[in-house]
């Protein structure tokens, strides 16, 4: 099968076409004929070797988001050949990443794609959607409480805002001038200028601070002052601040959601109900993965770039 992977770490140019044996599903697993794989910052970390690769062997295939059609089912699977599904993949796990023509996935790592969406659109949902769900679970807020979302114009920020509004939360978000309309359209109650001094601008609206910060922009200690005493700070890259003011620091780890089919199906339902909007920026043939990584790392992409197979 055709796959896009790396045998040595480095810049986008190390992503090359690989010819690998076709995998087959085991018990309670399926094989997906991948049609679309979203490109995310996590993929660039696989490409550069930022993760511990000691338990894996090259070629390393990036990709945590796939969508396609089941073409083979293992013994005991509850799925059927022909089902259109989206899946979360683990690049460093047993079955590898999503940048491949065929992906073997456990039954509980997939869900049907939302009705009315394309496979390319559905591929943008699993990893970022499950990350947003985990953020809100860790924040554990109640309707009427306030969450600030940094990096609101990014795909993860988009999904976090929309799901937070579904829960009845008040959302404060940051945006550059060119992204203000986008972020307001997601339902954010307050849209503030991004950049230095964001915590102060948040405190101008909420003098006691917000109940939680979802720091998808990796502002770290610069935005901790926006959190009220006893509030929650949720990071997406493992960062935890110094204990102070009874703030609870939490770090999202989306790899833990590999067997979260019920949550993934919840994302499907949210799309079908008009609560969540898949965010796709563009599609590129899988062979153009290096270009997709260059565009992602250049910044300014709104929505996910999607590789097609």
CA angle 104-108-114, nearest 5°?
A: 90
pLDDT for the residue numbered 146: 99
CB-based contacts of 194, cutoff 8 Å, min separation 6: 150, 174, 175, 176, 217
pLDDT for the residue numbered 168: 98
pLDDT for the residue numbered 2: 97
Residue whose token pair is 């997906």: 32
From-to residues of CATH 3.90.180.10 in the chain: 2-125+278-308
pLDDT for the residue numbered 193: 98
pLDDT for the residue numbered 70: 99
pLDDT for the residue numbered 55: 84
pLDDT for the residue numbered 56: 87
What's the whole-model pTM score? 0.96
From-to residues of CATH 3.40.50.720 in the chain: 128-254
CATH 3.40.50.720 fits 128-254, yes or no: yes
Side-chain-side CA neighbours of 171 within 13 Å: the count stands at: 30
Third-level CATH fold of 2-125+278-308: Quinone Oxidoreductase; Chain A, domain 1 (3.90.180)
pLDDT for the residue numbered 197: 98
- For residue 149, CA distances in Å to 33, 152, 184, 217 come to 35, 6, 13, 8
Instruction: Give every strand in the sheet of 248-251, ordered side by side.
Output: 190-193, 170-175, 146-150, 210-215, 227-235, 248-251
Per-residue pLDDT of the chain (309 residues; tens, 9 = 90+): 999 999 999 999 999 999 999 999 999 999 999 999 999 999 999 999 999 888 888 999 999 999 999 999 999 999 999 999 999 999 999 999 999 999 999 999 999 999 999 999 999 999 999 999 999 999 999 999 999 999 999 999 999 999 999 999 999 999 999 999 999 999 999 999 999 999 999 999 999 999 999 999 999 999 999 999 999 999 998 899 999 999 999 999 999 999 999 999 999 999 999 999 999 999 999 999 999 999 999 999 999 999 999
């Amino acid at each position: 099968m055709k796959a896009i992977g790396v045998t040595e770490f480095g810049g986008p140019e190390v992503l090359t076409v690989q010819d690998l044996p076709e995998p087959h599903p085991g018990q309670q697993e399926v094989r997906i004929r991948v049609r679309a794989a979203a490109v995310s910052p996590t993929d660039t970390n696989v490409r550069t070797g930022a993760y511990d690769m000691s338990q894996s062997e090259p070629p390393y295939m990036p990709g945590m988001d796939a969508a396609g059609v089941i073409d083979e089912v293992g013994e005991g699977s509850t799925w059927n050949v022909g089902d259109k599904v989206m899946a979360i993949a683990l690049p460093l796990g047993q079955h590898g990443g999503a940048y491949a023509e065929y992906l073997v996935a456990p039954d509980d790592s997939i869900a049907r794609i939302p009705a009315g969406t394309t496979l390319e659109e559905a591929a943008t949902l699993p990893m970022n959607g499950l990350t947003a769900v985990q953020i809100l679970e860790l924040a554990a807020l109640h309707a009427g409480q306030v969450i600030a979302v940094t990096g609101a114009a990014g795909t993860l920020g988009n999904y976090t805002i929309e799901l937070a509004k579904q829960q009845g939360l008040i959302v404060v978000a940051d945006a550059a001038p060119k992204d203000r309309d986008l972020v307001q359209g997601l339902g954010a109650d307050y849209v503030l200028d991004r950049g230095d001094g964001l915590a102060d601008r948040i405190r101008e609206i909420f003098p006691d601070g917000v109940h939680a910060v979802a720091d998808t922009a990796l502002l770290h200690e610069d935005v901790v002052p926006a959190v009220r005493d006893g509030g929650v700070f949720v990071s997406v890259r493992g960062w935890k601040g110094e204990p102070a003011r009874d703030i609870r620091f939490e770090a999202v780890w989306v790899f833990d959601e590999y067997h979260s089919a019920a949550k993934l199906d919840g994302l499907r339902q949210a799309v079908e109900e008009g609560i969540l909007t898949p965010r796709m920026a563009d599609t590129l043939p899988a062979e153009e993965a290096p270009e997709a990584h260059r565009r992602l790392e250049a910044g300014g992409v709104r929505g996910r770039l999607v590789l097609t197979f």
